Structure 1
């Protein structure tokens, strides 16, 4: 049923006002028609009701000359809760042409009744108007607006005489004031004299300032209410820290940050928050205006919902806008950030270069780059000096990825003055991505000097890679025309073998993929090797088990040259397949120290929901959805009480380190396949994961029985009075103070560069 409405007519008890009321009441019996007038001599409302056989017309006294009575009328309207006003007809009719008279408030009567009284009435009744209300204002006579005249004579013979009265009729003082009043209705304002106008302008400014000052608290209240609803209601369905109306979760999150090591990786902070919240399947972080809202995924089941393909999203959810910050490192066409069919085409084009069978053909290349690595370790073993393991490992993996992807020797393991320019530029570019505080990020947005530095470095790197691509294409073109296979089998070679014309688009695409492979290809394996040497050095049972396995495969006390020769033989695939404990070590290291998670994003209206363990569905639109591997991999419900311990044995019987094949839920497998995801799962899993696993196995096979590593500084092992390491209850050596932890520099890296000393194992000697 529609809400009752009303029509209010001033001066509606006689003459034109009465007839107007009669017609409205007849045409709209559903409206309540209110007649407001000072007098009601003929009982107008009852007359209309009797005539129409209705009861919807009512009379309420109103004296527009008395502003107090106008206020009383409005109060009556509100107190009686009369229906909302659909039409307000302000009917000007009273005139005092004979002399100048004044209302009780000291206002000239004609002007006061027809205009001031009506203006006040409208203002007071405004809250009671319908959204579609009509306001009708009538004037008290017919006149030509161009004629500044008063009220015409009461007797006239034509409309022309009414519009253009005689000069004598203008002398009446009351009529002159009435005429001035009439000008206000059709024109809304009249400029009388310059002094009055100036005073009015000054008053208007003062009033505007007063209105502004009065509105500021209202605006503040509105803003606070809007922010309160945004902060407190938007994420109410999700687990979260206690939010602040002003700061969201920034304050609460900062308490966790300052409570621990300030340089620790953000994922470690997220892990602490998750455990504080009782290990929920996910939780919300409202970091506006610094960052978009985050949905931190803690459960492997929800992480799987985020990464898998669906009918609507065949290549899983789009990547987060966060990756735009990595454009200088990866390029705008990177396979890491590309979406949809463009990503699919890139993946198809570059997949052959990372296929497992093809990678086996690159074993000589990987082993060739391992030899300078061993010579560098021999140098430090001979000198006994402390060094940063990250430098040595990064130089190794940079050399490997350069050879595998472009068939070039980057000389990364030589002295800095001998390294290829590409290595120096790229490492300089990576250093510009050091971890920054929230306030440093805001400062960089205001004064983006670092962005200019990145742009310059990227330009120089692009020039070097572009020249390499052009040279390789020119080298392959004659061989392709003669149908002669290229002796080189690098990723770049394979990606260009079906290209007949190297246009600008192909050139840019290829350049960006090489940058992406250089970045991801050297970071992941270098970090994995650092953690491997650290954890093995402080876990004697794991080190002994790994050495026994390598003795069984390659022969007890076999030198590294024998390992190399066997891995280059026809038995290499069988030898690598037998390295089950080595694979378990790698898998456990990637569980504890994943290089990064994946961040996805869908805009408002996408309707992306995830199902929680309790069956509830929550929408994650407009949130950066972060599959936090550090939390997923340390889920006590999956990994049990030893969740934070280095225990490779948990993977025996399930040492598959490939995201492509690690799907089977074997009965003996206590860990769901989706609970281990360092290379992410689904269609967007890492293209280079097999290369990283292959590199790690080869380097461990060549080093574990040859060297003993000893941590220096952070994470250093405690020794007893005899200088022997102190073994803890969980089978690991006790550290003196704090264990090593990851920091943030694009990916997760050991905070101190993994400072170590190295010595030869008994029986080992320097390479010749």
Structure 2
């Protein structure tokens, strides 16, 4: 039996052990957050110090013996001085170089932070490409230009606006066999993509990964999966019909993302999350459901051009990111492990095809999980964006004669191929054998394919940022006057600017004109690399054939059955001059005749 003194000692010991357990768990979480790049260095070291030393009370007790506060202040001062000196050094290194490259006037201290920052600031709530376009036009539309954002960026930022420069930088060279490396800005995507992602891997590791997954994304194999894609598009069309008839408002982005999530999951891991038929709050869309955590995890990534603010030091944000990442990783690992272990030949997925013949082990499972993460992240958002731009361009037919003629020609082509029924395309394609549907989609719909290409030209859904190592000696930029070394620079190949460059595409570069792709002489005269929505070179987008096929399948399914009308941000002044809302209105048609009206939000 314990006396009172022993009981108190036992209670104190148990309390200390419990405190150690909690501190150990917090330490594990902290190390995990730092390893994934979810928390910056300074908050990391401050929190780590508190966890190691204990509470402030413990620090106070140890202060007379070890001078902890003074020591901590000295360490902090040294660290702060080191960081300041690094910022000064990096700013000086950038500020004294690259003066042969066009740029806005560079301030001795601030570089282009102020004059470029006015066009790129987050409060404008727009993609940085629009700011870069303003700078580009102000500089006289050069083939490339530089933004000196040091010390915010520790390298010069080179924006490419002409294809010849882009081609020189993305293709393989003696020094860079697989193109120049990706920027370290991609590290922020590790919670979403994984550490072994094909998007961020470099060198031989990337080549092996690309070689393994290439067969599953070849056109022939992708077209063999047309039936799966069409079945998902059919659900998408049914949802639009229901919405149009009910008059309910909706976000087109949500419905497009549900569609692309279902398609990419079905094709890569032969798993159906039923994103389009699952109500919010249930199944994969429940609080801890797969789709919910994956989308919330994506939202945790710092948006491009978001700038510096509370979100960069928010202590809750990395914890939420860690929570979603843990659930996402656990659920996806279970699905992938089950799929690559399966012997069901009838439902062979792209991932199964990639690992065929390889021994199952933890490393293989982890690698496959990271690739599926990458496909879900990249394939879902970019194709959903393409679908929205397709609908946006069709919506202009209500107020633009040019777009009305385009839509009329598009519908005429669909009538000739599929019959007059506005919803006959899906039925016709679904009834054909794989080879017949592939032939129809690739050779019998020239204007439809041109429409997709033009949407991708004006609205490229993604881009890439590369980095040239400081020690590089063989890579230079072939400016008209003389070659210029770009060692140490970050390279942003702006498809947005290249695709709108009048020197490349002619005076109507800004105009949506699918017919340009049917003019053989015009296309033949385009410079090499002019069209690059999926980038070019060894590291082009592995899923470009799938994205194009999805876009065509959606376009032939909705172009005749629906009339889209974009309200707000169309370039038209609304009646009365009131501020327009950013929404779509959708009208259901039969044989091009209006039946009902809905007003969904975009």
For the superposition of Structure 1 and Structure 2, which TM-score range results when normalised by the shorter chain? Answer: 0.7 to 0.9
Output the CA distance in 1 between the equivalents of 2:536 and 2:473.
22
Which residues of structure 2 form unaligned runs of 5+? 1-84, 397-402, 597-602
* 1-structure distance, mates of 2:304, 2:217: 34
Distance 2:112 2:103 in 1: 8
Match for residue 557 of structure 1 among 421, 435, 443? 421
Rounded to whole Å, the distance in 1 between the matches of 2:392 and 2:307 is: 34
Which deviates the most, 407-416 or 679-688?
Answer: 407-416
Could you state the TM-score of these two structures normalised by the residue count of structure 1?
A: 0.61
CA 1:607–1:703: 2 relative to 1, 3 Å:
same
Q: Provide the C-alpha distance between the structure 1 equivalents of 2:305 and 2:551, rounded to a whole number of angstroms.
A: 33
Q: 1:395, 1:438 → 2: CA distance? A: 26
What secondary structure does 2:421 align onto? coil
* Deviation of the 1:275 alpha carbon: 0.8
- Does the C-alpha gap of structure 1 residues 583 and 718 become closer, same or farther in structure 2, counting only changes over 3 Å? farther
> What does residue 328 of structure 2 align with?
461
Relative distance call for 1:716 and 1:601 in structure 2 (3 A) is: closer
Greater Rg by CA: 1
- The alignment status of 1:649 with 2:477, answered yes or no, reads no
1:688 match: 543
Q: Are the equivalent residues in 2 in contact too, given 1:387–1:757 (CA < 8 A)? A: no
Is 2:91–2:150's contact at 8 Å kept on the other side of the alignment? no
Q: How does 1:140-179 map to 2 (within 5 A)?
A: none
| CA distance in 1: counterparts of 2:537 and 2:499, whole angstroms | 17
TM-score w.r.t. the length of structure 2 is 0.77
- The one of 688, 697, 700 equivalent to 2:552 is 697
- Do the aligned residues in 1 keep the contact of 2:180 with 2:467 (CA within 8 Å)? yes
Q: CA deviation at 1:242?
A: 1.0
- The verdict on how the C-alpha distance between 1:551 and 1:298 changes in structure 2, with shifts beyond 3 A counting, is same
Q: Which residue of 2 aligns with 1:14?
A: none
Question: CA–CA distance in 1 between the matches of 2:365 and 2:430?
Answer: 39
Offset of residue 569 of structure 1: 5.9
Aligned to 1:276: 138
2:308 to 440, 451, 454: 440
- Where relative contact order (Cα < 8 A, 6+ residues apart) is larger, the structure is 2
1:158 is aligned to none
Aligned partners of 1:626 and 1:412: how far apart in 2?
34
* CA 1:280–1:569: 2 relative to 1, 3 Å: closer
Give distance in 2, aligned partners of 1:738 and 1:755.
12
Change (3 A) 1:462 1:387: same
- Provide, for residues 440-493 of structure 1, a one-character-per-residue CA deviation record: whole Å limited to 9, x for no partner: 35x5554554233222211211111111122123322xx7xxxxxx11121122
CA contact (8 A) 1:389 1:530 kept: yes
- 1:103-502 equivalences under 5 Å are 230=93, 232-257=95-120, 262-292=124-154, 293-414=156-277, 415-420=279-284, 421-433=289-301, 435=303, 440=308, 443-447=310-314, 449-476=316-343, 486-500=345-359, 502=360
Deviation at 1:226, TM superposition (A): 7.7
Report if the CA contact (8 A) 1:412-1:419 is conserved.
no
CA-CA distance at 1:565 after TM superposition: 3.3
Q: Does 1:575 align with 2:440?
A: yes
1:619 aligns with 2:485: yes
Distance in 2 of aligned mates of 1:301 and 1:460: 45
**Quick check: 1:761 aligned with 2:589?**
yes
Map 1:473-552 to 2 at 5 A. 473-476=340-343, 486-500=345-359, 502-538=360-396, 539-552=403-416
Q: Number of aligned residue pairs: give it.
A: 496
Seen in structure 2, the aligned counterparts of structure 1 residues 311 and 718 have a Cα distance that, compared at 3 Å, is same
**Per-residue deviation, residues 364-404 of structure 1 (Å, max 9, x unmatched):** 10011112211110112102233211111111111111111
Cα distance, 1:389–1:621 mapped onto 2, change above 3 Å: same
What stretches of structure 1 of length at least 5 have no aligned partner?
A: 1-221, 480-485, 655-665, 722-735, 740-751
- Report the Cα distance in structure 2 between the residues aligned to 1:224 and 1:453, rounded to whole angstroms: 30
- The alpha-carbon distance between structure 1 residues 651 and 419, as it changes in their structure 2 partners (threshold 3 A), is farther
